């Protein structure tokens, strides 16, 4: 059994037991996360497709931790003028373990 959910304008294929990193949801560690924007649910040969979302299935999980991604460096440079500029960015994510699809 698996489902495709939408969170933070991104889509994720999830199965029970998966660990996914989604954009910050405002929840703290050990909170319950419920995703009601389910686009597709597959249980064996039974496939349900939403238009755009399904009403009945819900995907629930547990927030494991709040994590940061690797640092991304942006470097601007113009030759002969002495201009250079460095910026860095680390995206923050919520790590969630998928418990069930019901």
Do residues 92 and 68 touch, judged by C-beta distance below 8 A?
A: yes
What's the pLDDT score for residue 67?
Answer: 97
pLDDT (average), residues 10-26: 96
Do residues 7 and 36 touch, judged by C-beta distance below 8 A?
A: no
The Cα 79–Cα 39 span in angstroms is: 49
User: What is the pTM assigned to this prediction?
Assistant: 0.85
Q: For the segment 48-94, what is each residue's pLDDT rounded down to a tens digit?
A: 999 999 998 999 999 999 999 999 999 999 999 999 999 999 999 99
Could you tell me which residues are beta bridge partners of residue 84? Answer: 77
Q: For the segment 21-36, what is each residue's pLDDT rounded down to a tens digit?
A: 999 999 999 999 999 9
Whether the CA torsion 94, 95, 99, 100 is positive or negative: it is positive
Enumerate residues 6+ apart whose C-beta is below 8 A from 83.
76, 77
What's the pLDDT score for residue 92?
Answer: 97
């Amino acid at each position: 059994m698996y489902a495709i959910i939408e969170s933070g304008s991104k889509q994720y294929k999830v199965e029970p037991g998966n660990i996914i990193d989604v954009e910050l949801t405002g929840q703290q560690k050990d909170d319950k996360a419920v995703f009601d924007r389910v686009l597709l649910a597959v249980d064996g040969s039974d496939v349900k497709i939403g238009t755009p979302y399904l009403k009945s299935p819900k995907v629930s999980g547990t927030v494991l931790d709040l994590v940061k991604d690797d640092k991304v460096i942006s470097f601007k440079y113009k030759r002969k003028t002495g201009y250079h500029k460095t910026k860095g960015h680390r995206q923050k994510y919520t790590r969630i373990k998928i418990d069930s699809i019901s």
